[in-house]
Amino acid sequence: MFFLYQFYTMSKTLSIVRVPESTNNSLRAWSAADELLIHQLEETDTAPLVIYNDSFGYLSSHAAPRKTFAALDAKSQVKATLENFSNNSISGDHFEAVSLLEPLSEKVEIGLLKTPKSLEMFELFLSHFVKNSNKDATLYCGFMTRNFTKQLLEIGAEYFDEVEQSLSKKKARVLILRKPKVVSEKTMINSIEFGESEIKQYYGVFSSHHIDYATQFLIENLEPPEVVKSVLDLASGNGIIAKEVQKLFPDADIALVDDSQLAIESSKLNVKGENVSFFHNNNLEDIPSNSLDYVVSNPPFHVEYEIDISLPLRLFRAVEKKLVNEGKFQLVANSHLNYKPHLEKIFKRVSVVFDNDKFVVYSCYKRWDKNQEW
Ligand SMILES: C[S@@+](CC[C@H](N)C(=O)[O-])C[C@H]1O[C@@H](n2cnc3c(N)ncnc32)[C@H](O)[C@@H]1O
């Protein structure tokens, strides 16, 4: 079995692509750090493994047919992985997508981790691995050398007895963490005070220690339409924008959509009510067309270290389809992104309601009636 596995992995030439596609052709679906991780995997035996933060399924595809748990926070990561399996005729029988908030069905000996930008997310991954692995287990963490910070070593040493770094290859390295420690249970939830409210969020969720300043500008500049029965907080994070809109329209139906499971689980801690629905998804397929009066968002434009403008533009096009004819979309963005010309191609009318040297708040209308004020 071991030799068969070695043969299988060494002879594989896979074509892994970004899903959904990006308009920026310079962005790749994997990095030299992922290649180093697969090289490490090939040196180990066939024990089951757990993979963290595999953006487009490069690691899980190369791990086939070895039993693989993929602890993926983002729905987009799961979808991309399955699509890359299909493109490469990988059955996926070896693969099980699991939640970071639940235990694995069996203990593992090996883990591969694509080091995230957020150190708190890194810690959450390490904590999950330590709870779900045997005492001799090893976790390999791949990173690009330019993203190294010594806090990775410090956090590693909190959870493992042995911390070592590989040599650098193609500007990437692997942090090798051996012998998980027995650590006391830690609640990986931050608390943020905002006005009268206390907002809770899991480690790794956007803006971990204060409400994001752009989000605050949007909240201060909310200008909802007159009639609001249905609201969407798109890319809702901890749910703070939905929570503020709910104060204005307590009887409205409120939907929150976010790609991150940790974000959606955080928003459930903050936004309560019978008329509130949560969707862990990376698009708006759960929302009926022509159903929303008001959409609010501080939309994503990063995937980890990369800026990818095709991500928000795809979401904006979906918003236009989900709004009722009189519906309105308000969003905040960093000024340098210059969304106005893009938004004007999608919506009938776009106005700037707030603007400083850092952020812009836009109002977008699906239809335009000359009697409407703006
Ligand atoms: C800039 S943060 C805003 C979070 C929150 N609304 C706030 O203001 O604090 C963007 C959020 O978009 C989410 N996200 C990224 N890609 C997404 C997608 N395709 N669909 C939905 N949410 C997405 C991220 O998980 C993140 O929570």
Say whether both 146 and 215 belong to one domain.
no
User: Residue 138 Cα, ligand 1 centroid: separation in angstroms?
Assistant: 32
User: Residue 159 Cα, ligand 1 centroid: separation in angstroms?
Assistant: 29
Atom of ligand 1 nearest to the CA of 218: 8
> Containing domain of residue 173, as a range?
2-180
Q: Which amino acids bring their CB within 6 angstroms of ligand 1?
A: 76, 206-207, 212, 215, 235-238, 240-241, 257-260, 263, 282, 298, 300, 311
Atom of ligand 1 nearest to the CA of 214: 8
Specify if 194 maps to a domain: no
Of the candidates 153, 290, 298, 95, the one whose C-alpha atom is nearest the C-alpha of residue 216 is 298
Say whether both 64 and 140 belong to one domain.
yes
pLDDT at 261: 98
User: Residue 258 Cα, ligand 1 centroid: separation in angstroms?
Assistant: 6
pLDDT at 2: 41
How many Cβ atoms from other residues are within 10 Å of residue 109's Cβ? 16
Say whether both 165 and 245 belong to one domain.
no
Written as six digits, the tokens of 69 are 């748990």
Specify if 188 maps to a domain: no
Digits of tens for pLDDT over the chain (374 positions)?
Answer: 444 444 344 446 899 999 888 888 778 899 999 999 999 999 988 889 999 999 999 999 999 999 999 999 999 999 999 999 999 999 999 999 999 999 999 999 999 999 999 999 999 999 999 999 999 999 999 999 999 999 999 999 999 999 999 999 999 999 999 999 999 989 999 999 999 999 999 999 999 999 999 999 999 999 999 999 999 999 999 999 999 999 999 999 999 999 999 999 999 999 999 999 999 999 999 999 999 999 999 999 988 888 889 999 999 999 999 999 999 999 999 999 999 999 999 999 999 999 999 999 999 999 876 665 54
Specify if 161 maps to a domain: yes
Pairing of strands 133-144, 172-180: antiparallel
List residues bridging with 328 in a β-sheet.
294, 365
pLDDT at 10: 43
Distance CA 351, CA 363 (A): 5
Specify if 198 maps to a domain: no
Say whether both 210 and 174 belong to one domain.
no
pLDDT at 5: 42
Share of the chain residues as helix, strand and coil, in percent rounded to the nearest 5: 30, 30, 40
Mutate to test the pocket of ligand 1, among 236, 261, 265 (most ligand atoms within 8 A of CB): 236
Last residue of a domain, one of 147, 180, 213: 180
DSSP 337: G
Say whether both 249 and 352 belong to one domain.
yes
The CATH number assigned to the domain holding 156 equals 3.40.50.150
List residues bridging with 176 in a β-sheet.
140, 164
Specify if 373 maps to a domain: no
What is the total count of domains within the chain? 2
Mutate to test the pocket of ligand 1, among 75, 233, 265, 298 (most ligand atoms within 8 A of CB): 298
pLDDT at 8: 43
